[in-house]
A and B are shown apart, each in its own frame.
Chain A
Amino acid sequence: MHIVDGAVSGPIVAAGALLSAGGIALGLRAMTLDRIPTAGVLAASFFVASLIHVPVGPSSVHLILNGLAGLVLGWAAFPALFVGLVLQAVFFGFGGVTVLGINTLAIALPAVLIGAALRPLIAGAGPARAAVLGGIGGAGALALTGVVIAAALALTGAGFVPAAKLVLVAHLPVMVIEGLLTAAAVGLLHRVRPDLFTALATS
């Protein structure tokens, strides 16, 4: 989900930029020397994962996986997802420039919240429970992303409210897809490399 330049009002753009800058600063502080290579390589893998398309009937959606990013990266999700959005805008023409802040906020804030809420629970859970929690995280992060984008549009003007409602509805099928997919991914990670959930996230 990318907002484009000009689509939201000046105050929203400014608020998004400020809040994102704060999130990125916190994320960079959590990223000590030893963690930069890990964060960079994981950021690259989330970038690659976002190129995977899942067929939905005749169409397809691409993955966002911000819930999983939050579970693995913690606060580092802010700078990592920001870098991904910058690369997408510059080299793919997705999204925009002045809206980088609000787009980062819409994807990274849910990631951090989901990560903070569910990571401790997943660390202590059995494999089946971990997968269920991962599913909740994947779907929940997408729902929050929809809420942030819808709020940004709705606050821009009354004429944008129908579009904002549409954004919320459009997020429902994607939530189901990301939830189930994240459940499988978290279940696997929990069995294979449970330390991935603590490598970067503990600050």
Chain B
Amino acid sequence: MTFAPAPGLATAAATPVAPPDALLTRLDPRLRVGAALAFALLVAALSSLAALGAALASALALMALSGLAPRATLRRMAAMDGFILIMLILLPFTTPGAPIATLPGGLTASQQGLHLAIDIALTANAVILMLMVLVGTMDPVTLGHALGRLRVPAALVHLMLFTVRYIEVLRAEQARMRQAMKARGFRPRTDLHTLRSLGYLVGMLLVRAFERSERILQAMKCRGFTGHLPLLDDMRLRRADLCFALAFAALLTALAGLELGLVRIA
């Protein structure tokens, strides 16, 4: 199965696409999706900082095997919405518990609050990094096929495949319209004119997308589209996949052991 990496998302996200010969990218896509989900569910349930630290460390270690560009990936991992960052800073002061420090204003930081903030930061970064490492290194089309093979409803898979297919097309359309606006002297500012112009841009983007979708549907009907897209059939578990599955299960067990105090880091 050699799909050219879909340029669409790659350019939209400037995704550092992994080289196809990296160790992880040869594994069965279904296994990678399943492993990332299992990791996310387990890590979200962890609260021991040792276990969470080990989870983040294991995601970092796998990143080295994935062929992803480390700097861009880590920057993306650490980026969060402003309100989450502010929440993390606030939490030590807003959570009741044993005081550990007092600010000049009389604000008291609690040990429980600090623990909670670190817990959330470690969880969020470990889970999203593991997702980018295991699944983000996949061609988006392959991801769609893997989800289909994992019994995600066909309509949802088709919707995703169409979305992935047309993101790049519409991004280029949008870039063309922006270029035309720029040529006419449009500079985005904080004013009503900017909002109206960008609103028209979004409106025109939708109109063109809609007209394009009508043409796509006609073309597909011409070719006998009955609502069924064939899925790639050559996903099968090989020896390397079994080895990875066992190693990953051992990792998850070790993380659970750390959480429960059964395993200790020397």
A residues whose Cβ falls under 8 Å from a Cβ of B: 1-7, 10, 13, 24-25, 28, 31, 33-34, 36-45, 47-49, 51-57, 63, 65, 68, 72, 79-80, 82-84, 86-87, 89-98, 153, 157-163, 166-167, 170, 177, 180-189, 192-193, 196, 199
Contacts and interface: CB of A to CB of B under 8 A. Distances in A.
B196 A180 contact: yes
A41 B212 contact: yes
A48 B170 contact: yes
B113 A183 contact: no
B220 A5 contact: no
- By secondary structure, the A interface counts as helix
A102 to B, nearest CB: 12
Contacts of A79: 155-156, 159
Contact of A90 (B132, B197, B212): B132
20 contacts: A7-B84, A36-B155, A37-B213, A40-B161, A41-B166, A41-B213, A41-B216, A44-B169, A44-B170, A49-B202, A53-B188, A83-B156, A87-B164, A93-B128, A96-B127, A161-B94, A163-B83, A184-B196, A188-B207, A192-B204
B167 interface: yes
A163 B90 contact: yes
B239 to A, nearest CB: 27
Nearest to A171: B83
A192 B82 contact: no
B150 to A, nearest CB: 13
B140 A87 contact: yes
Interface residues on B, range: 35 or more
Given A49-B205, A184-B200, A163 B188 contact: no
B199 A44 contact: no
Contacts of B80: 2, 4
Interface of B: 9, 12-13, 15, 36-37, 40-41, 43-45, 73, 76-77, 79-84, 86-87, 90-91, 94-96, 113, 116, 119-120, 122-124, 127-129, 131-132, 135-136, 138, 140, 143, 153, 155-156, 158-167, 169-171, 174, 188-190, 192, 194-207, 209-214, 216-217, 220, 226-227
Given A38-B213, A40-B213, A196-B207, 19 more contacts: A1-B83, A2-B81, A4-B84, A6-B44, A6-B122, A33-B227, A38-B217, A45-B170, A53-B188, A55-B189, A80-B159, A87-B140, A91-B136, A93-B128, A95-B128, A159-B116, A189-B207, A192-B203, A193-B207
A55 to B, nearest CB: 5
A184 B200 CA distance: 6
Contacts of B131: 89-90, 93, 97
A30 B5 CA distance: 32
Contacts of B123: 4-6
Nearest to B171: A48
Contacts of B204: 188, 192
B208 to A, nearest CB: 8
Given A181-B195, A184-B203, A43 B159 contact: yes
